[in-house]
A = this chain, B = another copy of it.
């Protein structure tokens, strides 16, 4: 079962390499085609991703066991990015390596009237992972300072207040044992165009296409500015941001899965100790019908 990597490896390296430095953020300085921390081509990347499966599953099961034994720690992977950046692909190919019993995946759409009435963080809190679970958010509370800001769904003082509310909320999460891993899937406008065209060319992908996608695309500069504000104002020690170069799907999938693996290694969950007398139970079982 235990498939921990050999000591002296690259533990934590990608978490540091992709972490957004504190301070002002200029997205144009992040290369969406980079393959930071990986040496090799697409084929090697796919092999490397599959190769993470055993270790990430083993850590997941340890965390799950810890939760079943009363532990309250959990992981929350927050995925943000423009349309076609691959939030779904990361879940399918990365999270798909793990046991679905230990995952809680939530895809956030436009909030309902009842949800809005309770404040933007309410539905987020409803979806938090319990102890031992790896939660994954496909979009999140960050939409409330992204589309809400760009589309002017609320007044500027409202979205402006939210950055601080988000930081306070994420600080609380950290204190309560929810380890937040935030990933911005950074795709270029050119690559998005290629991917939207591919959806239009393939009848089995038409269901993924929405004419409104092009309307959103027209607002690309405003979204870039809103993302820069997020990466600058909500980048904290409690919940730092990572930018994932996402023009290459294979790299994106490998990178996010590696960040998750490094996060689990740092949490280092251990198999729970028996809270019963092992030898006595063996004797009881042997004597049982």
A272 contacts B by Cβ under 8 Å: yes
Interface residues of A (CB under 8 A from B): 1-2, 65, 68-69, 88, 91-92, 95-96, 98-101, 103, 105, 107, 138, 189, 193, 196-197, 200, 203-204, 206-211, 214, 217-218, 220, 271-274, 276, 278, 281-282, 284-285, 288-289
Q: State in angstroms the CA–CA spacing of A92 and B98 once bound together.
A: 8
- A211 contacts which chain B residues (CB < 8 A)? 276, 281, 284
**How many copies of this chain?**
2
- A284 contacts which chain B residues (CB < 8 A)? 211, 214
Taking a contact as CB atoms under 8 Å apart, the answer to whether A65 and B96 are in contact is: no
Q: State in angstroms the CA–CA spacing of A232 and B138 once bound together.
A: 43
Q: State in angstroms the CA–CA spacing of A103 and B92 once bound together.
A: 11
Chain B CB within 10 Å — which of A107, A196, A204 has the most?
A204
Minimum C-beta distance from A127 to chain B (A): 13
Given A206-B271, A207-B65, A220-B289: A281 and B100 within 8 A (CB)?
no
Q: State in angstroms the CA–CA spacing of A218 and B200 once bound together.
A: 61
Minimum C-beta distance from A85 to chain B (A): 15
